């Protein structure tokens, strides 16, 4: 009997990437790659990649699952609109990011005609419209829907605001030919966050509409389903790894840091309740599965900004490179944004860049405490998630998977006594996902969760020092 | 004045909280629970609440009134400009109550009350106010709103 196998496809913006996985053994059979041909005919790139995979593994087995994700054509571009910036507007932002979106704009309060025209001009794939608790403010969400309708917004709209207004808004938008759907309110009551229904609605729109709009369904006979935007796969993988199944124990609360060329993403799967007693939680509660995307911390797109932020002298001291070497490397990267390091100098440069990106991204993602003075003495107030007790950090992305110093880079995410207010993990196990297994785990999470976990445990490692071959597990482009 | 029914009160949303660097939550919690039991729709912000957070919560929940508690004697400082902030945020007509130990030391209540109503609060409540008194005042102040919509 032959083993069950799965074919995983990522329709990226540069490459079409394939991986064949042996589900019984939990290992990679092989990988293949073709160009991204989403803008012309998606089947060309996919066929090229299948040919490449066939060359790598001999012949193609009959796959039990053929699942795909897509980050092609700019990913899932979204704009969110809410009422108060720190409340429903923030809840909408969290929901969109959690759905794997690339957030291209976020609005709060009443939209002006100019705002609405700007939103339409940015041409998002989906707009998420929130505002008002259930039974709360209706005026603003109605106003904003009308402004968007007047501006002739044509993209699908997910309405996740005050339920008293949602039906009317949906009907009005539908009458104009807009695909408007209602999800439960992202903030049904004051300071109660409920982002999962909105996330699910976004994913439905993605599967039903966006995949078609981007022409990916032309290759439909070659796969079973495009399940999600690529970043969502990483988050779903992290979720399964944290929670486990009835048969395989999960790892518990964890953090995933994905250092990419354009962004550094952080996912935390954790409650984030105060680890110490007597701490008062303040502000909007954050989702159990939280994703943040740092668009100014990309290893390639933002290299110069990162160097400037650290300061040339400090960067020089940390990397051991002198100013002219740094400048040369910056120019090399700017001329070749896909560049992979191939010298000691470049590796050391990348390690310094990545350590900073990891530290900064983790600090922004994690919560913080503040001591407030009250008449009864000092009070500790917590904003955001307390991640100090998280036991696992998994690093992924090219520089961690293939670089020389994944541990050194990941260690930059840890709790720092000089910044004790930042609630970053104190003593986690540091793991590296060299094979970009989390992505595969996420795609397989629904269909074959146990096989996905076996695969994760075989491919995500602790204390990796030695470099492995790069024949498998190329990083899908986010 | 006739008391409102619980059904009528359910259409009235009240934001409650303790303003400033004040941790005295007990009285505010008792008041919030009592008002909820009487049928009002309550949004509780708890202790240590900055003035702007009352206003943000009121916007999002379309609140009809904000009930500010202050127990540590700094209420006058914390509440300064509260009505102006409401107007700035478009909450021109929101009803504002304040109550607790609003000032330090022994001062004549009438003077204290005037100071707070001058600041734009609709009503101020002295220490020792019982919850039925607050309910009665709310019923009075929302008589017209409820009869308009009932």
pLDDT digit string, tens, across residues B80-109: 999 999 998 899 999 999 999 998 888 899
B78 has a chain A CB within 8 A of its CB: no
Q: What is residue B148's predicted lDDT score, i.e. its pLDDT? A: 65
Mean local confidence (pLDDT), A357-381: 91
Q: Are A474 and A17 in contact (CB under 8 A)?
A: yes
Angle between helices A437-444 and A449-459 (to 10 degrees): 170
User: Each residue of A85-132: pLDDT tens digit?
Assistant: 999 999 999 999 999 998 999 999 999 999 999 999 999 999 999 999
Q: What domain range includes position B94? A: 6-149
Mean local confidence (pLDDT), A304-311: 93
Name the pLDDT band for A376 (thresholds 50, 70, 90). confident
Identified catalytic residue from B24, B53, B122, B141: B24
State ipTM: 0.83
Specify whether domain A5-73+215-223 bears CATH 3.90.1150.10.
Answer: no
The answer to whether residue A471 scores a pLDDT higher than 50 is no
| Partner residue facing B22 (CB), from A83, A375, A381 | A375
Among the four given CATH numbers 3.40.50, 1.20.140, 3.30.420, 3.30.700, the one describing domain A235-298+354-462: 3.30.420
- Encoded tokens for A44: 């060309």
Name the pLDDT band for A1 (thresholds 50, 70, 90). low
The answer to whether residue B64 scores a pLDDT higher than 90 is yes
Alpha-carbon span A18 to A33, nearest angstrom: 6
Mean local confidence (pLDDT), B66-86: 93
Mean local confidence (pLDDT), A272-286: 88
Split into its structural domains, chain B has a count of 1
Angle between helices A163-175 and A139-150 (to 10 degrees): 10
The answer to whether residue A405 scores a pLDDT higher than 70 is yes
A376 has a chain B CB within 8 A of its CB: yes
A193: distance to nearest CA of chain B, Å? 13
A103: distance to nearest CA of chain B, Å? 23
Task: Tell me the pLDDT of chain A averaged across its residues.
Answer: 90
Picking from A60-74, A142-156, A266-280, which range would have the lowest pLDDT averaged per residue? Answer: A60-74
Percent of chain A with pLDDT over 90: 70
Chain B residues in contact with A372 by the CB 8 A cut-off are 21, 48
User: Each residue of A430-461: pLDDT tens digit?
Assistant: 999 988 889 999 999 999 999 999 999 998 87
Mean local confidence (pLDDT), A397-405: 83
Q: What is residue A466's predicted lDDT score, i.e. its pLDDT? A: 36
- Encoded tokens for A134: 């259930």
Q: What is residue A209's predicted lDDT score, i.e. its pLDDT? A: 84
Name the pLDDT band for A464 (thresholds 50, 70, 90). very low
A333: distance to nearest CA of chain B, Å? 45
| Partner residue facing B60 (CB), from A137, A282, A374 | A137
Q: Is B85 inside any structural domain?
A: yes
**Residues A62/A63/A66/A72 CA torsion (nearest 10 deg):** -70
Q: What is residue A30's predicted lDDT score, i.e. its pLDDT? A: 92
| Partner residue facing A84 (CB), from B43, B60, B74 | B60
Q: Is B77 inside any structural domain?
A: yes
List the 38-97 stretch of A: residues with Cβ below 8 A of B: 83-84, 86-88
Do A5-73+215-223 and A235-298+354-462 have matching folds? yes
The answer to whether residue A465 scores a pLDDT higher than 50 is no
Contact B23 A138 (CB under 8 A): no
Name the pLDDT band for A463 (thresholds 50, 70, 90). low
Contact B60 A133 (CB under 8 A): yes
**What is the domain-level CATH number for residue B84?**
3.40.50.280
Q: Is B1 inside any structural domain?
A: no
Q: What is residue B126's predicted lDDT score, i.e. its pLDDT? A: 94
* Nearest residue to A222 (alpha-carbon basis) of A54, A63, A40: A63
User: Each residue of B22-36: pLDDT tens digit?
Assistant: 889 999 999 999 999
Q: What is residue A85's predicted lDDT score, i.e. its pLDDT? A: 93
Residues with Cβ within 8 Å of A385's Cβ and at least 6 positions away in sequence, in order, are A268, A270, A271, A272, A286, A290, A365, A366, A367, A423
The 3-class SS string of chain A reads CCCCEEEEEEECCCEEEEEEEECCCCEEEEEEEEECCCCCCHHHHHHHHHHHHHHHHCCCCCCCEEEEEECCCCCCEEEEECCCCCCHHHHHHHHHHHCCCEEEEEECCCCCHHHHHHHHHHCCCEEEECCCCCCCCCHHHHHHHHHHHHCCCCCCEEECCCHHHHHHHHHHHHHCCCCEEECCCCCCCCCCCCCHHHHHHHHHHHHHHHHHHCCHHHHHHHCCEEEEEHHHHHHHHHHHHHHECCCCECCCCEEEEEECCCCEEEEEECCCCCCCCCEEEECCCCCCEEEEEECCCCCCCCHHHHHHHHCHHHHHHHHCCCHHHHHHHHHHHHHCCCCCCCCHHHHHHHHHHHHHHHHHHHHHHCCEEEEEEECCEEEEEEECCCCCCCCEEEEECHHHHHCCCHHHHHHCCCCCHHHCCECCCCCCEEEEECCCHHHHHHHHCCCCHHHHHHHHHHHEEECCCCCCCCCCCCCCCC
* Nearest residue to A398 (alpha-carbon basis) of A466, A343, A474, A307: A474
Mean local confidence (pLDDT), A237-262: 94
Where b means 16+ CB within 10 Å and e means fewer, B6-39 reads eebbebbbbbbbbbbbbbbbebbbebbebbeebb
The answer to whether residue A182 scores a pLDDT higher than 90 is yes
The structural domains of chain A, with segments of one domain joined by +, span: 5-73+215-223, 77-210, 235-298+354-462
Percent of chain B with pLDDT over 90: 79
Contact B48 A83 (CB under 8 A): no
Identified catalytic residue from B22, B64, B78, B139: B22
Contact B60 A88 (CB under 8 A): yes
Under CATH, which number does the domain A77-210 receive? 3.40.50.280
Chain A residues in contact with B43 by the CB 8 A cut-off are 189-190
Contact B60 A187 (CB under 8 A): yes
Q: Which residue has the higher pLDDT, A225 or B69?
A: B69
Strand-by-strand arrangement of the B95-100 sheet: B41-44, B13-18, B65-70, B95-100, B123-125
Q: What is residue B150's predicted lDDT score, i.e. its pLDDT? A: 43
The answer to whether residue A377 scores a pLDDT higher than 90 is no
A373 has a chain B CB within 8 A of its CB: yes
Task: For residue B24, indicate whether it is catalytic.
Answer: yes
Chain B residues in contact with A382 by the CB 8 A cut-off are none
Q: What is residue B73's predicted lDDT score, i.e. its pLDDT? A: 87
A160 has a chain B CB within 8 A of its CB: no
| Partner residue facing A136 (CB), from B21, B47, B62 | B62
Q: Which of A190, A376, A381 to mutate to test the interface with B (most CBs of B within 10 A)?
A: A190
Chain A residues in contact with B40 by the CB 8 A cut-off are none
A186 has a chain B CB within 8 A of its CB: no
User: Each residue of A312-365: pLDDT tens digit?
Assistant: 999 999 999 999 999 999 999 999 888 888 888 999 999 999 999 999 999 999
Q: Are A216 and A351 in contact (CB under 8 A)?
A: no
């Amino acid at each position: 009997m032959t083993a069950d196998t799965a074919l995983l496809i990522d329709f990226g913006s540069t490459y079409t990437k394939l991986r064949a996985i042996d589900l019984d053994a939990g290992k990679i059979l092989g990988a293949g790659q073709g160009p991204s041909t989403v803008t012309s005919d998606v089947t060309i790139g996919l066929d090229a990649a299948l040919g490449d995979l066939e060359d790598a593994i001999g012949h193609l087995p009959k796959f039990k699952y053929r699942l795909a994700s897509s980050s092609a054509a700019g990913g899932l571009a979204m704009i969110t609109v809410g009422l108060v910036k720190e409340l429903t507007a923030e809840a909408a932002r969290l929901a969109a990011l959690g759905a794997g979106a690339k957030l291209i704009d976020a609005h709060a309060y009443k939209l002006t005609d100019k705002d609405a025209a700007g939103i339409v001009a940015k041409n998002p794939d989906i707009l998420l419209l929130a505002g008002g608790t259930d039974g709360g403010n209706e005026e603003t969400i109605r106003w904003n829907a009308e402004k968007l309708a007047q501006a002739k917004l044509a993209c699908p709209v997910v309405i996740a605001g005050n339920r008293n207004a949602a039906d009317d808004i949906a009907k009005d938008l539908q009458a104009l030919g807009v695909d408007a759907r209602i999800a439960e309110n992202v903030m049904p009551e004051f300071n109660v966050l409920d982002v999962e229904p909105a996330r699910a609605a976004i994913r439905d729109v993605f599967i039903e509409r966006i995949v078609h709009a981007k022409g990916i369904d032309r290759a439909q006979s070659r796969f079973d389903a495009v399940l999600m935007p690529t970043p969502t796969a990483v988050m779903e993988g992290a979720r399964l790894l944290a929670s486990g199944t009835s048969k395989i124990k999960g790892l518990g609360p964890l953090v995933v840091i994905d250092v990419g060329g354009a962004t550094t993403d952080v996912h935390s799967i954790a409650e984030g309740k105060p680890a110490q007693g007597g701490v008062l939680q303040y502000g909007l509660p954050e989702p159990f599965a939280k994703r943040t995307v740092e668009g100014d911390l990309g290893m390639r797109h933002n290299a110069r900004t990162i160097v400037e932020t650290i300061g040339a002298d400090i960067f020089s001291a940390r990397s051991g490179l002198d100013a002219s070497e740094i400048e040369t490397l910056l120019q090399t990267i700017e001329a070749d944004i896909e560049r992979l390091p191939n010298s000691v100098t470049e590796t050391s440069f990348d390690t310094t860049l990545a350590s900073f990106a990891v530290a900064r991204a983790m600090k922004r993602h994690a919560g913080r405490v503040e001591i407030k003075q009250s008449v009864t003495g000092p009070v500790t107030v917590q904003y955001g998630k307390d991640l100090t007790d998280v036991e696992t950090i998994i690093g992924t992305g090219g520089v961690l998977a293939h670089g020389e110093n994944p541990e050194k880079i990941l260690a930059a995410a840890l709790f720092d006594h000089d910044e004790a207010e930042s609630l970053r993990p104190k003593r986690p196990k540091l793991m590296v996902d060299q094979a970009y297994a989390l992505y595969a785990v996420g795609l397989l999470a629904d269909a074959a969760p146990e096989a996905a976990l076996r695969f994760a445990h075989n491919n995500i490692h602790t204390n990796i020092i030695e470099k492995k071959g790069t024949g498998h597990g190329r990083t899908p482009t986010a | 004045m006739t008391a409102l029914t619980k059904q009528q009160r359910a259409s009235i949303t009240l934001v409650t909280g303790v303003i400033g660097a004040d941790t005295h939550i007990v009285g505010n919690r008792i008041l919030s629970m009592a008002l909820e039991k009487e049928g009002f729709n309550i949004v509780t912000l708890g202790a240590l609440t900055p003035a702007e957070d009352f206003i943000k919560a009121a916007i999002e929940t379309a609140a009809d009134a904000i009930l500010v508690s202050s127990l540590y004697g700094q209420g006058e400082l914390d509440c300064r400009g509260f009505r102006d902030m409401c107007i700035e945020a478009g909450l021109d007509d929101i009803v504002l109550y304040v109550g607790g130990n609003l000032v330090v030391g022994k001062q004549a209540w009438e003077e204290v009350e005037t100071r707070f109503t001058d600041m734009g609060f609709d009503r101020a409540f002295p220490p020792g106010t019982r919850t039925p008194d607050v309910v009665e005042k709310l019923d009075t102040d929302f008589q017209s709103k409820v009869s308009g919509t009932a």
